[in-house]
Structure 1
Amino acid sequence: MKLPKQWRRTYINFLVRFKKSRKQFRNRFQDVEVELYDLNKVVEPFVHSFNLLLVLLAIASLVAAEGFELQAPYKRWNNYLELTIILGFSLSYFLRLFLTSKRIQLVRSRIFETILISSLALIGISYLIGGQDFLEYVATLFGGKEIWPILILATKIYLILLIIERSIRAAPILLSLKRKPTQVVAGSFLSVIAVGALLLMTPRATVDGQGLDLIDALFTSTSAVCVTGLIVVDTATHLTMFGQVIVMILIQVGGLGLLTIATLFALFVSSGLGVGQMTLLKGTVGETRTSETFQTIKRIVGITLLIEACGALGYYLSWHDLFDDNSTRLFFSMFHAVSAFCNAGFSVFTNSLADQVNALNYGINITTMILIITGGLGFTTLWELIKGNPHHRLRNWKFSIHTRLVLWATGILITVGTVAFLVLEWNGVLSGYQTSDKILLSLFQSVTTRTAGFNTVDIGGLGTSTTLVFLTLMIIGASPASTAGGIKTTTVSVLLLSAWSTITGKRDVEFAKKKIAKDTVFTAMTVFILAAVCLFFFTFLLTITEDQPFIDLLFEEFSAFATVGLSRGITGELTTAGKSIIIVSMFIGRVGIVTLALAFAKRRTATKYQYPSESVIVA
């Protein structure tokens, strides 16, 4: 059927006008987008500053609410502040969404924040539609009678999630700064220590409601972040559950590293990291290839959580008769699993594990030793042991030279330490025990002394000979890319191999038909020399500030610098100056003496010349 001519003309005119209007709309829309882009460049710095202010206010609000006993009027005003902060975050989000031309990309890259904002909007719409009655009905679904307590709790959770999200999003920015990797690593540890100290100073962190004083809070926070375990207050009796949870979180963050954790989550909640950022990170996780950095980070976190979960299960089953309350039993299990794997040595028992319940409990001893050893082997070694066919690898011994050195050194040190402790303390602290118990106690002390800090015997009652053995084990420590401290097993192994090469007249340092690079040998020498200088210097300072036996001060300094955590009972008696010295020692020992030195050194430059060589008489 053919349309009338007038209708066709009308239809054609309509199409022409429609296309013209659409073109005008597009041109106008593009003009608006350009204006919004220009406006966004002006507003963006203010939005960043506004968001930073909101994050700081949110942290202050949560600390005030959870760390202090606020009176009713202040608590109400704090709740209003929290709601205002959430509205501020929402305003910032929608402002960004309005100003940007890539709205879909913004929503995808900020999916976590989008979900949080959408949840808040849903609650607001529900209130507008259903009013107070509807929200109270929702409250009954969660077992409550009033909506406001639930809203306040939801507000706190919302703020915590937003703070975490903002902090995680700051990781790529931090890695983009023109700083040395060593400076970024040291700065991340310092920031966590500072935050931990502030939280431990809040009244709710301690049983007496006074909070820790500044020096004790700094000491405890540093000891936890540096996975040391030295304490100036009893973690079991002086800290509340809130304080103990803070310590556990600090241990976990310190063991894995703030950058490792933040980067992992940043890669999930944002669009990713650049090559330069990955290059900075690879050194912090013990990776040599930039392309494998993200996979390595995922493996580190995955292996850690898996082993800690297995360890917590082992503790939980071993303490079946100790606790009547399953929630307390679960918390104790989680705390000790994190502390043991991270080689921290913190315990929520007053005497560590040196009591009748734990000292001779085979389940507790075996679980703790497995966690300490796996945490001290290093993630590089652990992954090499896990991947591939383990039976084939063990039969043909086809591990890398690094893994072979780590396994040999670990096995030898555990064996030598066990035998030495058993022989030297047979009639000492081991007297009165059965032979099987003596062997168990000796094995445990040998494993824990190198880095962990747990103990099942009285360390203060050890003889001088045993103390010297402990000093040796402590300074050697565990292995690289691990949660443990010390100058590392590979460092000592390389030095011994270098000495053997010199004695046997070989020009190269060899192991397992492989030549160890000269740079590795030089680095090992540097670590050993700088560690010796630091130990001498800090011990010398302690002899000036403290009125304690020299052997006790020496033991304390070795324990702090090697991030072990064992003590002969003088930690709580240290003066403020002595505690400060130990704090610095723990920090240097955890970050690494070479890492800290490189943070302040000039960038390495290649020279285009060589001087003539000349011999020097050295022996």
Structure 2
Amino acid sequence: MLYGFLTYTFIGWLLLCLPSFHKQAVSALDSLFIATSAISTTGLVTVSVFDTYNWLGQLVVMLLFQIGGIGYMTFTSFVLLSKKSPLTHWHQRVLNAEFSMPKGFEIKDFLKSVIIFTIVIETLGALSFYIAFTQAGVDHNFAIWSSVYHSVSAFCTAGFGLYNDSFEQFADNSFINTIISVLAICGSLGFIVVTDLWNRISGKATAITYTTKTIFGVITLLLTIGTFMIYFFEPSVSHIGENKLMASFFQSMTALTTVGFNTVPLGSFSLGVMLVVIFLMYVGASPSGTGGGMKSTTLTALIAIMWNRIRNNKQVTFFGKVIPLERLYVATSVFMLYASVIFISTFLLAMTEEFPLHQILFETTSAIGTVGLSTGITGNLTAWGKVVIIFVMFVGRLGVLTFGLAILARRKEIIERADEGDLAV
């Protein structure tokens, strides 16, 4: 996975450096930033994609976040399976690393649902966008390309747009807001949920899995809390009037699903509400989806650990089910690794950049969660600051735990006996 995403990033960078892909000159570092942001489906940009790159350049960016959204191994594996060719052991290992799946899921059925669902949703999204954009007065020819581009971007939770103000000009357009929300939620819920629901509808399974129930519950709860906090405590959404609830939901949704579009300038948010948005970006979407972040199921496992420890239970349970110890190890490791990356990158940027700490923290959390929301400082980062964010975005897409395993894990398991030492905690 590490080498695969590095390769795609490098190829995308080389293409975006070609003058024939430009409308105006752009530095190699900025092109690397855009390529990394696209493959990681983040959406942070140091230059305007629409003003800097021509149609070919924009197409390269779109292909990068399409690959980043559904996984770089997904399409080739699907082609092999459609030709009745068995997946190699190497293919299966990479896919299992890229998609965290509960027991009982067949990789063949899973890949099929990923490809079909992606094509269907993005096609419906593009058609809906075209109707919405033409109704909003967008030119016919541009509306076609804009519809395809934003449909893929929204479903892959990439946050890349062809409008320099994201979707602020469409803040009161309920149709466009709804399309983005549906696409982003479909992508961020994860292909586990899609496969699970399809198996239930088609009769392959008698009930949806425990993972799907947990994902639905946690995402609904967090979306409700985020919308409530923004609606009642954020003054900057008040001017929207009757669409205040829609705007509050949209900013909550865009942070949690990591889609990265916004209809309200986030730089004007109060510190308290900005902290809520940072928390939503930190948690992020669900496993095996197009979104980033720590994942909703990781938060669930952490809450279960804390709750059962307080109750003095011997086993960690959640909604009557025992969570396996291996999953708990993963959850705590991901939580600590995410916190470590945010702390270190925030420290490094605080030493080199002249922005307030809360804006730097917002930027680093957005990068590691592959969200793409910004308070407006991305384009003004120093060269060193851009390098830091590039690294953080790449690690965020690969996954902090996967990145750590790729760099530090032993190739062969070493069994060694160690003396037990009691550690007071």
Q: Quickly name the TM-score band, shorter chain normalised.
A: over 0.9
Larger radius of gyration: 1
Distance in 1, matches of 2:350 and 2:75, equals 39
- 1:446 aligned onto 2:252: yes
Match among 5, 15, 21 for residue 199 of structure 1: 15
Counterpart in the other structure of 2:400:
593
Asked if 2 retains the 8 angstrom alpha-carbon contact of 1:449 and 1:473, the reply is: yes
The secondary structure found in structure 2 opposite 1:301 is helix
Q: CA deviation at 1:240?
A: 1.3
- 1:469 aligned onto 2:276: yes
- 1:506 aligned onto 2:320: no
- 1:285 aligned onto 2:94: no
Percent of matched pairs sharing the same residue: 35
Q: CA deviation at 1:606?
A: 6.2
- 1:344 aligned onto 2:158: yes
Q: CA deviation at 1:323?
A: 5.0
Distance verdict in 2 for CA 1:465–1:571, change over 3 Å: same
Asked if 1 retains the 8 angstrom alpha-carbon contact of 2:281 and 2:293, the reply is: yes
TM-score, normalised to structure 1's length? Answer: 0.65
Match among 348, 352, 361 for residue 173 of structure 2: 361
Asked if 1 retains the 8 angstrom alpha-carbon contact of 2:77 and 2:91, the reply is: no
Pairwise mapping of residues 402-417 of structure 1 onto structure 2 (< 5 A)? 402-417=211-226
Match among 524, 540, 543 for residue 331 of structure 2: 524
Distance in 1, matches of 2:66 and 2:300, equals 29
The secondary structure found in structure 1 opposite 2:236 is coil
Distance in 2, matches of 1:469 and 1:533, equals 19
Asked if 2 retains the 8 angstrom alpha-carbon contact of 1:260 and 1:285, the reply is: no
Distance in 2, matches of 1:608 and 1:238, equals 56
Q: CA deviation at 1:246?
A: 1.1
Q: Kindly provide the amino acid, as one letter, of the partner of residue 2 in structure 2.
A: A
Q: Kindly provide the amino acid, as one letter, of the partner of residue 273 in structure 1.
A: L
Indicate the RMSD between aligned Cα atoms, in angstroms: 2.2
Distance in 1, matches of 2:209 and 2:105, equals 20
Q: Kindly provide the amino acid, as one letter, of the partner of residue 401 in structure 1.
A: Y
Counterpart in the other structure of 1:84:
none
TM-score, normalised to structure 2's length? Answer: 0.94
Counterpart in the other structure of 2:410:
602
Match among 67, 84, 94 for residue 253 of structure 1: 67
Distance in 2, matches of 1:604 and 1:399, equals 37
Q: CA deviation at 1:474?
A: 0.6
Counterpart in the other structure of 1:570:
377
- 1:388 aligned onto 2:200: yes
Q: CA deviation at 1:611?
A: 4.7
Distance verdict in 2 for CA 1:567–1:608, change over 3 Å: closer
1:240-283: CA deviation from partner (whole Å, max 9, x where unpaired): 11111111111101111211122223445694433454344333
Pairwise mapping of residues 90-169 of structure 1 onto structure 2 (< 5 A)? none
Asked if 2 retains the 8 angstrom alpha-carbon contact of 1:287 and 1:296, the reply is: no
Structure with more relative contact order (C-alpha pairs < 8 Å, separation 6 or more): 2
Q: CA deviation at 1:352?
A: 0.6
Q: Kindly provide the amino acid, as one letter, of the partner of residue 535 in structure 1.
A: I
Distance verdict in 2 for CA 1:284–1:466, change over 3 Å: same
Asked if 2 retains the 8 angstrom alpha-carbon contact of 1:219 and 1:232, the reply is: yes
Distance in 1, matches of 2:93 and 2:159, equals 32
- 1:311 aligned onto 2:120: no
The secondary structure found in structure 2 opposite 1:457 is coil
1:422-446: CA deviation from partner (whole Å, max 9, x where unpaired): 1111xx2123232x30000001011
Q: CA deviation at 1:579?
A: 0.1
- 1:377 aligned onto 2:186: no
Distance in 1, matches of 2:201 and 2:72, equals 33
Counterpart in the other structure of 2:350:
543
Q: CA deviation at 1:468?
A: 0.6
Q: Kindly provide the amino acid, as one letter, of the partner of residue 225 in structure 1.
A: I
The secondary structure found in structure 1 opposite 2:372 is coil
Q: Kindly provide the amino acid, as one letter, of the partner of residue 227 in structure 1.
A: T
Q: Unaligned regions of 5+ residues in structure 2, if any? A: none
Distance in 1, matches of 2:414 and 2:213, equals 32
Counterpart in the other structure of 2:145:
331
Distance in 2, matches of 1:232 and 1:241, equals 18
Asked if 2 retains the 8 angstrom alpha-carbon contact of 1:206 and 1:243, the reply is: yes
Q: Kindly provide the amino acid, as one letter, of the partner of residue 179 in structure 2.
A: T
Distance in 1, matches of 2:103 and 2:91, equals 13
